Each structure stands twice: as structure tokens, then as C-alpha cells.
Structure 1
Amino acid sequence: MTTLRTPVEMIDTHQHLWMMSERAYDWISPDYGPLYDDFGPERVAADIEEAGVTGTVLVQAADTYEDTFYMLSVADRVPSVLGVVAWAPLDRFEEARAALDLYALSPLVKGVRCLTHNYEDPRWILGESVDRSVSLLAPRSLALDMVSVLDEHLRTVAEVAERHPDLTVVLDHMAKPPIATEGWEPWATLIAEVAQRPNTVVKLSGLNTASKPEWTAADWTRYVDHVVENFGSSRMMMGSDWPVSILAGDFVGVWRAQREVIAKLSGDEQDDILFRTARRVYGL
């Protein structure tokens, strides 16, 4: 087993919480097995401590204000929660502006995300009304998180970053590389094209659920190496993707594997990924 250094801090930049007993999460059905349940901060507290995580960023799990304000209520009472990536109705400009103005008053709201990977149109965020709303984010010091599960999503991420050079665009889960099938293209070329936009940042997260069931950190090496080569450690940050991650592992095991896959980097580079990039990008 790889011996891991002890960093000053570690920030989990991609954690979800949801309480299905209290509010709707349309995408979570019984088909998701263990995810069809309540996941509050108490369920992950011991794992966070065991893994050595010192702070977390909560990321929206539903396109609703209810989900956002639930996360804010948790952040208000749980000291380890350092920030929230909220939802806003980006396709309704006036309402989005009002919501973003409200969020900008909170020291906890650090960014915005919509579940665009579930939308029928993979280029939804490039629509005229949505694009106007996206232009409101940077002046309010808010980042834009984006999920990519299709090739067209990655092309869209690059275009959003090109249109809005002052906006920090955060690509979640390394755009889910085809690890399970040991695929490479077009993922490798498309993510390298995203990296050419200097205002893009990528999360090292969600790789276990993109892998075969009996995965190891070694399965991820060439994918992570490719991202490091193109983005550099200063534009990478770590996330657990809990509780989605429990579909193919457990919090502590997945977090350790992600640390193992970057263990060959210098201490400074590891610190970038483990906490420095997060502090800069999200203003933690």
C-alpha cells in the first residue's frame, strides 16, 4: 500500500446531501438502490474524520431552491462545511438575477450548478436566455460547475469558458472518462481542448463509479496523468462525490485511492489538488 504524506488540510469539493423524506429529488429512483435514502451530514461525519478531510463543499443535487436552502441550513450548523454550490433557474433571466443577487449576500454560496447532464438538449446552457444568466456569475464572484457525460457536453464546457473568459468554469468528475472500457478517445482530446481555456478547473472525483466494479487506483493512472499534464495541479481539486460514490466503494476507500493516484506528484502539487485550488476557486 502506498505511504501517503500528511497534508496541512484536505478539502472535499464535491459532496452531496439529500433528504428524500423532506423534499423531491426527481432523478433518484428506487433503481439507484442504496442512494434511495436520506443522506444528511451525520451519515458522513465519521468518514470525513477518518479520511482526514478538514472541510467540504456541498454541491446541489436537485434543480430546486429547497435543495439549495437545505444545504445552506447544514452549512450554517456544521463547521466543516465551507461552501455551497447552489442552483439557480438560469433559463429565467430575471428570476436568476434575483436569486444570484440573494446568493451573493451569503458568504457560503460559492458557485452555481444545474443538472444539465440530465437535460434533453446537451447544449442547453448555450441558449440565449441561459447565456445571459451565466454572464451574471463572474461579477458576483460565483463559479459555474458543469457535469459532462457526453462528448457534446465537453464541447459545450469549452464553449461556455470561451464565451465567458472572466468566469471560472469547474468541470466535475473529470468528465467521467471511459475507465470501465479502457477507452481513451474522444475523451482525451476533448478534455485537453477544455484545458486550453485558462479559466477552466477540473475535479478529480467520481472515477470509481466510472470504473469496473473491482477497480483499483491503478486503473485511473493514465486518465489522471493526462488531466495533470493538461490542466496542471493548480487547476485541479479533489472531491468525494459522496454519497453517489457508495455505488462502487466507501468514502474512506475512494478518498484514499484518489490520494494514491496523485502520490507521485510533488508535495506542492498534491497540496494544490487537496486544498489550494479549492480555496482559490471557491474563495473558501
Structure 2
Amino acid sequence: MIALFDTHLHLVDRERIHYPWLKDVPALDRDWTLADYQSTARRIGIEGALHMEVDCDPADIAKENAWVADMMAQDGSLIRGAISSARPEDDGFEAFPDTLDRSVVKGIRRVLHVVPDEVSTSNRFRANVGRMGAHGLPFDICMLARQLDLAAALVDACPDTTFVMDHCGVPDIAAGAFDDWAAAVSRLAERPNVNAKISGITAYAAPDWTLDSLRPYAEHVIGCFGWDRVVWGSDSPVCTLNSSLDQWVAVTRALLSEVSETEARALASGNARRIWGL
């Protein structure tokens, strides 16, 4: 069995860190612990993980990264680093990368579907994301399918930065939306500094989803980006809105069972280790 590296794990500690958005998603509004995740992950062949920021209160960004460092230091921890929250739209952001513990923080993300589209098109935002290339910090693109052309414009403004498109570009699988999303993914994939994350797309499917209902979306992304520019992520616990972690892993293994071992290992872990320098 090929081991998986999880590039998209969310953990939650509500006593330590404030997450304003959680109150609007009751199914997720609880603590999600490393111990619980590892109990399942080890059983289903997950060998390591990057903690993905959980859109905490901006005042708690450093606190969240410090918490990840604490978890990394635990005996037998699967956590290999953090993708930090960031606010590239803020005045003074130029100093932010120098505040990061680079033994912990491997990349950054700004959730962009919760703010006006104009945030990602501002000169300040683009200049600051463009500087991430020199710092060796990949930027995760967290945008909806309708925003993928905005993502392409951001990438074009930042040619020296490595990007990772989260969640297959967030297709509306439940509604059967495919053509417009697929065309936008194809356009974004033309940029060689963009990678794609096959992560937790059960959350965007109908409750009665099957492998066959998810397959066209995952296969289209892989076909556009190629096996050398795709990584895997659980998006746990968001994936639990419509599945379980082990069900999403089962989908992944079913898809990988049909490809070569070289291709499977690239998506499962190899590309992630290269992109984030793990």
C-alpha cells in the first residue's frame, strides 16, 4: 500500500485559538484533535501531514503556528509543518515572512472566497504574494470555481511564486456543474508555477455521492496538471461534512489503483515533498 502525505489537515483548539466562522458551521464547531486524527490516519496509511491554517482570527495567526510547532514536537507526531494563515492585503505585510519560524511554516494561505474579489486584484496583495517566491513560501489558492480566472490573474502577476490550487478548484459536484469549472481549471493549469490539490471533494458532492460521481472531477484536474503537479490532501475535518476521512482515502486509493506506481507515488507524497521542501 502506497503511503499518503496529507497536505491539508485542519485541527481546532477553541480554547487556544479563536475561529470566528465556526459558529456558522455547527457540524464542525468543536475541537478537532491531533490524537483523534492520528488514530484514524495510521490505520489507513497516512504517513505525515501539513497543518493547514483554519482561518483563525488574524490576531491569533502566530498563536496557531506556535501550536503547530508544539504538535510537531510530540513523540510520534505525523505533523511535518504548517501552512500559515496570512494577510497579504495588509499594510506592512512585507515584514511578515521574517516573523515566521521556517522550521515550522512551509507555505501560506489567504482564504479568498470569504472576502471581496477585489482583494486578490489589488496591487498590494499581488506584490506581496509575488514576494513569496523569494522566501520559498508556496501560496495555496483557496477560491471558488467562479473565481478561478481571478486566480489565473494573480498567478500571472506573481511568476516567481509557486501556487497550489486547493480542492480541485471547488467544483459544484452536487449540482453537476462541470463545463465552466473544467474550462477554468484548464486555463489555470497552463501556468507552470501552479500545482493542484486533490483534496476532500466529497464536501462538494451530493450526500449520495459515489466514486463514479467524483471521478470526472479528479481525473480532469490530473489530466490538466499532469502527475508531476498534483498533491493529495484530506481536508479533514471539512471532508466529514459529507463523508468520513477513511471514505475519502478509499476513493483516493481506488483512483490510484488504476495508474502506474510512479504516478501514484507522485500524487501520494512525492510532489508534496518537493513543493514544500519536506
Partner of residue 247, structure 2:
253
Aligned equivalent of 2:82: 84
Task: Determine if the alignment matches structure 1 residue 209 to structure 2 residue 207.
Answer: no
**Structure 1 residue 128 and structure 2 residue 132: aligned?**
no
- Alignment of 1:46 with 2:39, yes or no, is yes
Secondary structure of the corresponding residue to residue 12 of structure 2: coil
**In 1, Cα distance between the equivalents of 2:266 and 2:145?**
28
- Secondary structure class of the residue paired with 2:148: helix
Q: Which range moved further: 107-116 or 122-131?
A: 122-131
Aligned to 2:215: 221
Would you say the 8 A contact 1:13–1:58 is kept in 2?
yes
Q: Is the contact made by 2:112 and 2:142 (CA closer than 8 Å) also made in structure 1?
A: yes
What one-letter code is carried by the residue in structure 2 that aligns with 1:108? V
8 Å Cα contact 2:127-2:158 kept in structure 1: no
Contact 2:131 2:161 in 1 (8 A): no
1:111 aligns with 2:107: yes
Match in the other structure for 1:177: 171
Give the structure-2-normalised TM-score.
0.93
> Structure 1's 76 and 89: CA in aligned 2 closer, same or farther, altered over 3 A?
farther
Contiguous gaps of at least 5 residues in structure 1: 1-5
Q: Which stretch of the first structure deviates more once superposed, 205-214 or 129-138? A: 129-138
TM-score in terms of structure 1 length: 0.91
Q: Indicate if the aligned counterparts of 1:234 and 1:272 stay in contact, CA closer than 8 A.
A: yes
State the AA in 1 paired with 2:182.
A
Paired with 1:70 and 1:127, the residues of 2 have a C-alpha distance of 31
Once the two structures are aligned, what percentage of the paired residues are identical? Answer: 25
Aligned to 1:281: 275
How far apart are the structure 1 equivalents of 2:99 and 2:150?
27
**Is the CA contact 2:50–2:79 (under 8 Å) kept in the aligned structure 1?**
yes
5+ residue gaps, structure 2: none
Residue 143 of structure 1 and its aligned partner are, at CA, apart by 0.3
Identify which range, 123-132 or 243-252, moves more after superposition: 123-132
* Paired amino acid for 2:106: K
Structure 1 Cα separation of the partners of residues 118 and 245 of structure 2: 32
- The whole-number CA distance in structure 1 between the counterparts of 2:232 and 2:165 is 12
Partner in structure 2 of residue 163 of structure 1 = 157
Runs of 4+ in 1 over 6 A off after TM superposition: none
Count of paired positions: 273
1:80 Cα shift? 1.4
